[in-house]
Amino acid sequence: MTSQLKTINPATEEVIETYDLMTDDQASQAIDACHKAFLEWKMRSTEERAKVIRALGEGLRKNKDEFARLMTREVGKLIGDSQQEIDLCAAICDFTAEHGPKELADEERDIPGGTGVVSYAPVGVIYGIQPWNFPCYQAVRYAIANLMAGNGVLLKHAENCTGSGLFLKKVLEEAGLPKDLFTVLVIDHDQSDRVIENPLVRGVTLTGSDKAGRVVAAKAAENLKKTVLELGSNDAYIVLDDADLDTAVEACVQGRLYNNGQTCVNAKRFVVTEKNYDRFVERYAEKMRAVELGDPSEEDTKLGPMARSDLRDTLAEQVQESVRKGARALVGGETPDRTGAYYPATVLVDVAPGQPAYDDELFGPVASIIKAKDDDDAMRIANDSRYGLGGGIFSADEKRARELAAQHFDTGMVSINGFNIAIPNMPFGGVKDSGYGREHGGFGMKEFVNIKSIYMA
């Protein structure tokens, strides 16, 4: 077992920093310290917590440029996307501070012979296992909601953005969060299992692959601990007969390439009715072909590297296997001969069941276009997936599109005539192999609380 880990710039392949892994004793002591901080924090009123959380948002804004540059170095995000990510995280703090006290306030209900009180009590230390694609947001998304609820928070971040996790801790504590209440654990996977087993840890949340979700959920269940899982997806965006093609093509390019194509709710499969198929493919391929790879730290770059070379190689193999099984690459599809974990904007057609491009999640800038006979067939194909995180509908009839989204789309989130990733006041999460539980919109604040019934005679 190695006792160190390295962060590597995926654009240059240069080592950024080397970190020592914690020993088991150090990890255990860090959990103890987080629990002690929680015991004091939970006694603060929700209004007091909200005041601190509002200050955390300001702390993120104050450190926006430095944080954005670090994230771009560690995972290859476009610098503009990194800056927007910090803005989103600050907005999450604002929303949570504004609405948290009301969401978590006691509720009174009439009961026979008296008054019933529903109280939302913090439970303790919550452990978050997070990926690299949004180094600040993935941590903030669960941490701020749980801090508002009165819990302590542990973070095991992906190895390649270790620096971002530690920088976030520094920013939060400098902005006024009590020391150790947000604790970063620099540990490996075996140590992570022992964290889940620790009796002071009361809940576990993970964002990652469905494979990782099964492993973590099983370990948590073995220890009778609740989990929230936000897992992968192969989100379908359907282009119906009456869709505006200009709107659809523009949004579908953005939806596929956002964050270098490495987002759980990226648009990934494009299901287009026969009526629109040829014109959509022509326009879409033209726009994707024009996207050039570049340095993610440059403001005008449209597509940067993937986060690691092994992830790029996995994507390339998925594309090659899809082609071997009948798909065609109209654009891209070949790993460029250059330094860095780069992969080009790629468009696959003749995509069918049995190909990774149809069945699996392609986590990178590869679009899978699928032809549907008509609107009903498009909806059928969209739901023909083991995943169910997000999706989209393009149609001139917004009322019908809303009905399809509400009653027929088997996902947790649906965008109509556009592309969205996450908004603080809307719930975020999925169904099927995309996981369970909800974050944002006030829902995340109540995932890890003790909902108490108090009977007043």
Catalytic residue numbers read 230, 264
Is residue 42 classed as helix, strand or coil in its secondary structure? coil
Neighbour-count burial of 15, counting CB atoms closer than 10 A to its CB (0-12 exposed, 13-18 middle, 19+ buried): exposed
Is residue 212 classed as helix, strand or coil in its secondary structure? helix
Sheet with 152-156: list strands edge to edge: 182-184, 152-156, 125-129, 201-207, 226-230, 435-436
What residue type is assigned to position 209 of the chain? S
Tell me the backbone φ, ψ of residue 23, rounded to 5 degrees.
Answer: -80, 165
Neighbour count for residue 208 (Cβ, 10 Å): 22
* CA dist list (Å): 222 to 193, 197, 436, 447: 11, 9, 18, 19
Neighbour count for residue 16 (Cβ, 10 Å): 15
User: Which positions ≥6 away from 224 have C-beta within 8 Å?
Assistant: none
Residue 415 β-bridge partners: 392
82: left (phi over 0), alpha (psi -120 to 50) or beta: alpha
Is residue 436 classed as helix, strand or coil in its secondary structure? strand
- Beta strands at 346-349 and 366-372: parallel, antiparallel or unpaired: parallel
The single-letter DSSP state of residue 147 is H
Tell me the backbone φ, ψ of residue 278, rounded to 5 degrees.
Answer: -60, -45
* DSSP assignments along 271-292, one per residue: EEEHHHHHHHHHHHHHHHHTPP
Tokens of residue 227, six digits: 């989990």
Helix segments in 175-302, DSSP class H: 189-197, 210-222, 245-257, 274-289
Tokens of residue 329, six digits: 């690459």
Q: Are 371 and 274 in contact (CB under 8 A)?
A: yes
